[in-house]
């Protein structure tokens, strides 16, 4: 809405520039026209509203994957893996 208002003001400045007879009014109308047209073209769009607070669900209580520890290095690996990705030994 603000961009449209500045664009309307630039149109009024252009009309005033066209109809003015005094050189001072023409200069001021030209400055008004350029300034308001520039603002209407460059002014950013407003940000969208923030998401509702209940958009994200709570984290699950249990882990999604079952893990086991490597017998060689002791790091947690996936239950289905047969080789440890950290030490390359058989789990």
Q: How many distinct structural domains can be found in the chain?
A: 1
Residue 7's domain comprises: 2-42
Contact at 8 Å (CB) between 73 and 90? no
Domain membership flag for residue 90 = no
Q: State both tokens at 81.
A: 């893996």
pLDDT digits (tens, 9 = 90+) for 33-83: 899 888 888 888 777 888 887 777 776 676 667 788 888 888 888 888 888
- Residue 63 has a pLDDT of 63
Contact at 8 Å (CB) between 90 and 82? yes
Domain membership flag for residue 13 = yes
Domain membership flag for residue 83 = no
């Amino acid at each position: 809405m603000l961009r449209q208002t500045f664009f309307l003001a630039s149109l009024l400045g252009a009309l005033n520039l066209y109809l003015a007879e005094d050189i001072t009014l023409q200069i001021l109308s030209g400055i008004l026209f350029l300034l308001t047209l520039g603002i209407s073209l460059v002014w950013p769009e407003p940000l969208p509203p923030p998401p509702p607070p209940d958009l994200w669900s709570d984290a699950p209580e249990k882990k999604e994957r079952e893990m086991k520890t490597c017998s060689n290095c002791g790091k947690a690996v996936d239950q289905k893996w047969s080789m440890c990705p950290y030490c390359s030994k058989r789990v």
